[in-house]
Every structure is written in C-alpha cells, then in structure tokens.
Amino acid sequence: MDSYCCVFLSIFLCISICLGEDYDLDDKTGLGRSFDGIGGLSGGGATSRLLVNYAEPYRSQILDYLFKPTFGASLQILKVEIGGDAQTTDGTEPSHMHYEDDENYFRGYEWWLMKEAKKRNPNITLIGLPWAFPGWVGNGENWPYSFPDITASYVVSWILGAKQYHDLDIDYVGIWNERSFNSKYIKLLRYTLDKSGLERVKIIASDNLWEPISSVVIADKELQDAVEILGVHYPGTNTVPEALKTGKKLWSSEDYSTFNDNVGGGCWARILNQNYVNGKMTATISWNLVSSYYEDLPFERDGLMTAKEPWSGNYVVESPIWITAHTTQFTEPGWTYLQTVGHFTHGGSYVALTDERGNLTIITETMTHDHSVCIRPPLPSYDVTAQNVTFHLKGTFASISELQVWHSKFDFKTNKTVLFQNIKPIKVTEGSFSIELDVDEVYTFTTVRNGQRGSYPDPPPSAPFPKSYKDDFDVSGNPYFSEAPNFADQTGVFEYFTNQTDPGPHVSTLRQVVTQRPVTWVADADQTISVIGDYQWQDLMVSCDIYMESVHTGGVFIAVRVNKGGGVVRSTRGVFLWVYADGTYKVTNDLNGMTVLAEGMSGTRARVWYTLTLTVKGNYASADLDGYPLWKNAVLWEPRHGWAAMGTSSFELAQFDNFAIEALA
C-alpha cells in the first residue's frame, strides 16, 4: 500500500510540474497602467565624472550602449543632477549659480550628456533633480526651504537655461526631500513653473518614501494638482494603499544601486518586472547610469555598465545593459501593461505590454533569491524552481501566430552566462504556446522584430592610471567641460579659469570657486579637495603651482596617499602639505589638519604664485617650496596608499597650475 501511494504521488507531482501552469494574456477585460519607461540616473553625485574624459571612438560607443535605440540598453529616461556645488555621494557637481548674481549654463557635463542622449533618442524623457544647493539658496542655513521662493526660482532658472542655451526640453523636475516633506515648496514650484511658461514641465514628488506624500496628496487638493508623479526610492517592488488611492502615476524614481556583476543583473531583472507586478510602478530609474568614477569611491560599479578608465579607453558592458534591453528594445513609453500580469506558481514573474495596435511584448524572469539580491531593501526569502508554463493569448492577441524570442540565462555554476540572445521564434498554436523556464532566466516574447544585440570591437585592455601625469590646465584643450580631466572634486568645485588681468605664465588655471558651505544632505568637509590618480599609489612625488586669493586667511594644500572620498570625505587621511597666507606651513596626516607631522614658517602670502612639491617614499615625507626644502623625512605610518589631491583650507578662492605626478613605485 505504501509503495502504491508513493508511485501515485510521484505521478501527481510530475503532472503538476511537467505539464506546468496556464496563464492568460487578455486585453478584452481592459488594460492596466501606461508604461513610462526605464532609465538611468547621472548624478547624486558625480557618477558620470570620468565618462567625459574618454577619447573617441570609445566615448561614443559607451553612449550608444546606453541610449541608442535597439542597440544596447536603449534607455527611455535620463535623470540628471541639478548640480549644487556639494558632495552628493561620489563627488560634487557644479551649480549653474555659484552665487546669487552668477549664472552660467555651461558648467559640468550633464548638459552635454543630455544632448548626447537626445542625439541618439530624440524621444528620451529628461528629468532634473537637485541633491544639494549653493549656500546662498539656504541663506546661511543647511536647509533649502526656509525661503521657498528663492529655491523655486533657482530650480526653474536651470530648466529655462537648458532650453535657452542647449535647446533641451526638461520633462520633469524632482523634489529634494532627504529630511522632510515640504508641500508649500511644491505648490510654489508649480506656480513658478507656470508663471515662467513651463506648464508642460511636471513635478515628481517626493523622491524619497511613499509617505507622507501619498496621504498629504489625498488630503490636499492644491498639492494633488501640483504633483504629477509619486516617485519613491528603493521601494523593494512594493507600494502602499494610499499611493494607489491617489490615482497618480507611481514611479521608482531611484532604484538598483547594486554592484553590477551577474547578481546585480539578476536584481535588475527582478525589479524591472516586479516593480509593476507588485507595486504598479510604471517607470524604474537606475542609480546609476554608468559607473564612471574612481572605483575606490563609495558604491563602486553600481551602474548599468562600467567606464572608469578614460586614460586606457577600457569599459565593460555589464549584464544590466542587456537585462534592460529585454524590455526597452520591444516597448516604448505610451505602451500599456495588460491587467493579466503576475507571479508564476513556481516562482518568478511575468509582464505583458501592448501598443494597442496589435503588438505584444511579454517579459518573464525566474531569478532566484540569492542571485537577485539588491543592495536595499532586505529581500525576504522565496523559492523558484524550474517549470513549464503555457501562455494563452486572448482578445486582440488571439490571432498571433509567431513570437520573436530573446533569452538570457545567468549560470552561476559554470560561468557560461548567456545574455540577450536571439533564438528561434516560437510558434503560437490556436492562441497558445508553452515554454520550459529554468531558474535565473529572462525571456522576451514579442511581435516586435527589430531587436538587436549591438556590438563594437573590444575596447583597449584595462590599465592603471599613468605613473607620470601632467596638466597645465590649458582650457583650449578641453573646450566643452568646465573641469580638468580625471580630477574628481570631493568638496568644493575646481573649474577652468582665465586670468584676464594676468597675461603671464598663469593665464589659464584651475580655480576653486565655492566660497560658502553648500546646502547638502552629505557631510561635506570643511576644506575643499579634488582627487586624482591610482588609489594603489604608495611612493609618489606631486608638484603644483598654487595661488591664494584670500589675504591673511588663505590656505592651500597638495596631498598624496589620500584614502577616502564621497560621503565620508570628512574623515579622509593621507599626507597633506599646507601653506598659508600668514606665512606658515604644516604637514598633516588628515584633511582636518589635526594630526600634525611637521610645521614651521614658509614666508608665503596671498596673491603670489608658489610651486609646492611633496615627495613620499616608504615611511618618510619631504617637501619643497619653490625648489627650497621646507622639511625632510617627516615620519608617517598610515595610510600606505591612496590618490593624489589638491585643495584649500576652507571654502575660499584659490588657483592651481602645472599639476604634475611622478609615481616612484
């Protein structure tokens, strides 16, 4: 009797699993929400910093993989940081208004990036969001909403400048909301946009959590009219009932933020489907667009692809690019989700979209838990097993006879991962087709026939930063960007500067221009600093011409073995050589200047050019001023390696020229 029961049970399980489950895809009962797109985020902060320094053709190739339709990721949304002169994760991005009476719409690289995206995809959606603000916007407070009219005018000026100077139409603007929700500002921003002829520009709020924005929108009719999109960060594919009650479009306006190996690709595959299946979110935007910042800064390789070596030309098209393509190459914003989407019985999910003109695209994912963990929030446990599924196409899709098939398979055992492979079309018989789904797979079944796995010849091999490096900051060699190649500002902003009154050898320099602590959610240092080079450098000689502009209070430094940046920049250590306008110098083991290795008189003063040279070898450091020794063989122990850097002792004006590095080992 026991043997008979076991045989019966085995047959039953085989029928249940082998025959699989049935899923209807039907539009006759109505459609779901309108699809708004998949995008990437440049900024928050300085995440595309090194991209602009790539030589051609590699820079254009990277941009093609990101934005060119039916080639790579084919992104449909680009969200950029409205620079605020402040550290916002991996660096600072310059404001278009450093000071209240200052306007310049050519600083930074986001203008260039938006134009390059539009060049490839004229229909791409553009979004701007400030992560920080120049200090004058806060009027001395680390808060941008004490004077909401000033903040609204500042943001609107950026949108107007995008159009006036770059012919860029910004579609949406987000709300800075790291600490609390401010409905008064949102209403005033809507008023200011309308008054400026920007009725078409819509507001995303609150670019943080579902609450309290959802409940307040329900209760406040004026706010409800002002907000177009409820945007949330890292929702874990879930929404809340109040958000659904608003009737607003729901977006995951910042998501992913995960190391872009194959587990990161699995994370991206899972949330792209399940953000809609679970949370009814119709757009998902990756932080970040491209990992184009020094890898030892926070959140290394948290982009859709990696491009962190402009000096070598090397870049890597990572798995999230091709996972994105499973959706973006076979849909467009304005397509509509079917109501018949959901989870498979044995794990995974499926979505289906239509252009309502007969085209149908189905995306399935069967990512297992451990192979799709995102950086945040925590992922509850769940199971996925191999399964056979049958789709029944009904309604207007009943006449479809064949679907194109694109397939990705993450192989974590033998490392034979296949990404975005076009395989044999599948026949649809009497409105149905079946497919065997293994774990950790993504499929696209579609009537759209123009998908493509674009490619270029392999880029040059990876190489370390050059051991010998010089930059005289001649602006004529870098006409499109305000920052010098390969420098990554971590506090403050270092821009090209032309000395109109000094036609001498320092006519073109790099100038630190932030003179007031910005309004920011990250703990910027009290000093300004820009890093460059190879984080593994140990023995090094750095020299630079420096010019202090602040009489009596001015101070500048050059440094080696700098070990931190990003949001932890305040705790940066290294070997720092400082000279001051009061005629003194010191050598410290930290950016804060608390651990002093040597100090004395230098005779330096403001508004005079000097050449500083700092040499570190083993446990000893020495420095020269204009070729004369300041000190020799100061003893140091930590850190053992890090970047080179330069900066100022406070938020002050100072200039730098003829920067040079020689790695000694």
List pLDDT tens digits, range 70-91: 999 999 999 999 999 999 999 9
Same fold, 41-264+272-307 and 468-663: no
Cβ atoms of 515 and 85 within 8 Å: the answer is: no
The pLDDT tens digits for 417-446 are: 999 999 999 999 999 999 999 999 999 999
pLDDT score, position 633: 83
Q: At residue 523, does pLDDT exceed 90?
A: no
The pLDDT tens digits for 178-219 are: 666 789 999 999 999 999 999 999 999 999 999 999 999 999
How far is it, in rounded angstroms, from Cα 350 to Cα 364?
4
H helices within 564-628, ranges in order? none
Map out the domains of the chain as residue ranges: 41-264+272-307, 468-663
Higher pLDDT, 17 or 483: 483
pLDDT score, position 8: 40
pLDDT score, position 634: 81
Buried b (16+ CB within 10 A) or exposed e, 6-38: eeeeeeeeeeeeeebeebebbbeeebbeebbbb
Buried b (16+ CB within 10 A) or exposed e, 177-208: beeebbbebbbbbbebbeeeebeebbbbbbbb
508: exposed, middle or buried (Cβ count in 10 Å: 0-12, 13-18, 19+): middle
pLDDT score, position 182: 87
> Which residue, chain included where needed, has tokens 């986001």?
110
Band (pLDDT 50/70/90 cuts) for residue 504 is confident
Q: At residue 501, does pLDDT exceed 80?
A: no
Give SS3 for 489: strand
The pLDDT tens digits for 407-420 are: 999 999 988 999 99
**CA dihedral defined by 53, 56, 59, 64, rounded to 10 degrees?**
170
Domain 41-264+272-307, CATH among 3.90.550.10, 3.30.750.24, 3.20.20.80, 3.30.70.240: 3.20.20.80
pLDDT score, position 257: 98
Q: At residue 511, does pLDDT exceed 70?
A: yes
How far is it, in rounded angstroms, from Cα 211 to Cα 224?
14
Portion of the chain with pLDDT greater than 70, in percent: 95
Cβ atoms of 542 and 614 within 8 Å: the answer is: yes
Say which amino acid occupies 247.
Answer: G
Band (pLDDT 50/70/90 cuts) for residue 477 is low
User: Which of 276-280, 497-501, 619-623 shows the highest mean pLDDT?
Assistant: 276-280
Domain 468-663, CATH among 2.60.120.1570, 3.40.190.170, 1.10.357.10, 2.60.120.560: 2.60.120.560
Query: Is the peptide bond preceding residue 10 cis, with omega within 30 degrees of 0?
Result: no
How far is it, in rounded angstroms, from Cα 357 to Cα 396?
9
Say which amino acid occupies 655.
Answer: Q
Q: What is the mean pLDDT of residues 465-478?
A: 87
Q: At residue 646, does pLDDT exceed 70?
A: yes
How far is it, in rounded angstroms, from Cα 238 to Cα 249?
14
In 43-102, which ranges are E strands? 77-81
Average pLDDT taken over every residue of the chain: 94
pLDDT score, position 7: 37
The half-sphere exposure of 185 on its side-chain side, counting CA atoms within 13 A, is 25
pLDDT score, position 20: 83
Q: At residue 649, does pLDDT exceed 50?
A: yes
Higher pLDDT, 358 or 140: 358
Q: How far is CA 385 from CA 12, 276, 410, 470, 604, in A?
A: 17, 22, 14, 56, 71
pLDDT score, position 479: 53
Q: Active-site residues: which are they?
A: 178, 254
Higher pLDDT, 584 or 507: 584
The pLDDT tens digits for 369-382 are: 999 999 999 999 99
Band (pLDDT 50/70/90 cuts) for residue 233 is very high
Band (pLDDT 50/70/90 cuts) for residue 510 is very high
pLDDT score, position 13: 41
Cβ atoms of 527 and 483 within 8 Å: the answer is: no
Band (pLDDT 50/70/90 cuts) for residue 300 is very high
Cβ atoms of 100 and 136 within 8 Å: the answer is: yes
How many CB atoms neighbour CB 555 within 10 A? Answer: 25
Pairing of strands 402-409, 418-427: antiparallel
pLDDT score, position 176: 79
Portion of the chain with pLDDT greater than 90, in percent: 91
3-state helix, strand, coil in the chain (%, to 5): 20, 35, 45
DSSP character for 519?
Answer: B
